[in-house]
């Protein structure tokens, strides 16, 4: 049976294995070990929205593993002229070995997966960003040597990245605190699901509007943009509501001394994070971005035969 990665929940049984195998693969790549496991394999990559990291990391991952990737924009595809997602999935299933899809709507990723006989990987939608989260927990494990028992504080918008990070926190047994302005918390479904997973791993998921209690004693402080792709019409309102949630030197002074600062990027410096924090010795944002390349490789190797 094919394996889709649409949600972090599709890695429920082996999420930490993705993380550990990703770290191993990165080490062997850096040691010069050749891996041609994607020989003659092709990844189709449909991007409805902009991307730097996801596009380049998946394309490079395929190249380094001896395969090939095709960038597809709905603007240039028949999908943009009314061909259905279902028909697109059926057609591409006969030509490529897996599909990566960055979509505005989660339902469309589900629809593509349902109508494709090949694996579909969610390259970010309005609800989740699962491939990012593998790279994130790889980075935390590299820096902290463990995941279980850590306190991760996410400060900002209860968005796609936050939902996926929160689901995975329970899977690795980390405590997860999310602090957002009132009205911008994560959807109830994700909180409930994350709490039920966390309970089994004896960790906690806490949702608050008070960033001080979230950040107090944290091992990791994570933020993301306040205005995600597709929400541009809310920019003014959101920037006002989020002003006091900026990750700055005053805020991070509440965390553990050796805390690490993370951001999936792109960062809007001066808004959700200051230059002082983003460029500080505690910041791991570029290691985190580089880890996308290694995370994508492990994801591809696990879904493509």
Q: Which two tokens stand for residue 258?
A: 């050796």
Q: Which does 228 bind (CB under 5 to 8 A by kind): ligand CP, ligand NVA, none?
A: ligand NVA
Q: Which does 160 bind (CB under 5 to 8 A by kind): ligand CP, ligand NVA, none?
A: ligand NVA
Between CA 239 and CA 76 the distance in angstroms is 33
Please answer whether residues 95 and 42 qualify as being in contact, where contact means their C-beta atoms are separated by less than 8 angstroms. Answer: yes
Name the residue nearer to ligand NVA (CB basis): 118 or 245: 245
Least gap, CB of 264 to ligand CP (angstroms):
4
- Please identify which of the residues 53, 263, 292, 294 carries the catalytic annotation: 292
Q: Is 129 a catalytic residue?
A: yes
Q: Is 53 a catalytic residue?
A: no
Q: Which does 225 bind (CB under 5 to 8 A by kind): ligand NVA, ligand CP, none?
A: ligand NVA
- Please identify which of the residues 102, 157, 263, 294 carries the catalytic annotation: 102
- Please identify which of the residues 4, 53, 125, 132 carries the catalytic annotation: 132
Stretch that binds ligand CP, among 18-26, 52-60, 79-87, 88-96 (CB under 6 A): 52-60
Burial of 48 (0-12, 13-18, 19+ CB in 10 A): buried
Q: Which two tokens stand for residue 115?
A: 């109508």
- With binding defined as CB under 6 A, does residue 264 bind ligand CP? yes
Q: What one-character-per-residue DSSP string does the chain give?
A: ----BSSGGGGTTTHHHHHHHHHHHHHHHHTT----TTTT-EEEEEESS--SHHHHHHHHHHHHTT-EEEEE-TTTSGGGGT--HHHHHHHHHTT-SEEEEE-S-HHHHHHHHHT-SS-EEE---SS--HHHHHHHHHHHHHHHS--TT-EEEEES---HHHHHHHHHHHHHT-EEEEE--TT-SPPHHHHHHHHHHHHHTT--EEEES-HHHHHTT-SEEEE--SS-TT-GGGHHHHHHHHGGG-B-HHHHTTS-TT-EEEE-S---BTTTB-HHHHTSTTB-HHHHHHHHHHHHHHHHHHH--
Stretch that binds ligand CP, among 65-73, 240-248, 259-267, 269-277 (CB under 6 A): 259-267
Q: Is 202 a catalytic residue?
A: no
Least gap, CB of 156 to ligand CP (angstroms):
14
Name the residue nearer to ligand NVA (CB basis): 53 or 141: 53
Tally Cβ neighbours within 10 Å of residue 281.
Answer: 8
* Residue from 57, 93, 116, 160 binding ligand NVA (CB under 6 A): 160
Least gap, CB of 247 to ligand CP (angstroms):
17
Q: Which does 111 bind (CB under 5 to 8 A by kind): ligand CP, ligand NVA, none?
A: none
- With binding defined as CB under 6 A, does residue 228 bind ligand NVA? yes
Q: Is 55 a catalytic residue?
A: no
Segment 263-292, which members bind ligand NVA (CB under 6 A)? 264
Least gap, CB of 42 to ligand NVA (angstroms):
25
- Please identify which of the residues 53, 129, 263, 294 carries the catalytic annotation: 129
Stretch that binds ligand CP, among 26-34, 75-83, 189-197, 260-268 (CB under 6 A): 260-268
Segment 95-124, which members bind ligand NVA (CB under 6 A)? 124
Stretch that binds ligand CP, among 10-18, 48-56, 182-190, 196-204 (CB under 6 A): 48-56
- With binding defined as CB under 6 A, does residue 56 bind ligand NVA? no
């Amino acid at each position: 049976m094919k394996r889709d990665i649409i949600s972090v929940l599709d890695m429920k049984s082996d999420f930490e294995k993705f993380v550990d195998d990703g770290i191993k693969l990165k080490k062997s790549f850096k040691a010069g070990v050749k891996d041609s496991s994607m020989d003659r394999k092709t990844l189709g990559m449909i991007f409805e929205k902009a991307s730097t990291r996801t596009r380049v990391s998946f394309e490079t991952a395929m190249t380094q593993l001896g395969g090939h990737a095709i960038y597809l924009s709905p603007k240039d595809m028949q999908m943009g002229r009314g061909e259905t997602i279902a028909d697109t999935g059926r057609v591409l299933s006969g030509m490529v070995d897996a599909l990566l899809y960055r979509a505005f709507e989660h339902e469309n990723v589900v629809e593509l997966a349902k109508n494709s006989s090949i694996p579909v990987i969610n390259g970010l939608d309005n609800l989740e960003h699962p491939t990012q989260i593998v790279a994130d927990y790889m980075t935390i494990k590299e820096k902290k040597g463990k995941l279980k028992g850590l306190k991760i504080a996410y400060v900002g918008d209860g968005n796609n990245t936050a939902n996926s990070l929160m689901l995975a926190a329970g899977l690795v047994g980390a405590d997860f605190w999310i602090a957002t302005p009132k009205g911008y918390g994560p959807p109830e479904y994700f909180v409930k699901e994350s709490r039920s997973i966390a309970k089994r791993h004896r960790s906690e998921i806490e949702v608050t509007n008070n960033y001080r209690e979230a950040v107090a004693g944290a091992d990791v402080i994570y933020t993301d943009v306040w205005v995600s792709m597709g929400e541009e019409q809310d920019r003014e309102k959101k920037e006002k509501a989020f002003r006091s949630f900026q990750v700055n030197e005053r805020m991070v002074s509440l965390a553990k001394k050796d805390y690490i600062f993370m951001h999936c990027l792109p960062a809007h410096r001066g808004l959700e994070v200051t230059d002082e924090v983003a460029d500080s010795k505690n910041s791991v944002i570029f290691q985190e971005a580089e880890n996308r390349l290694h995370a994508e490789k492990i994801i591809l190797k696990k879904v493509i035969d």
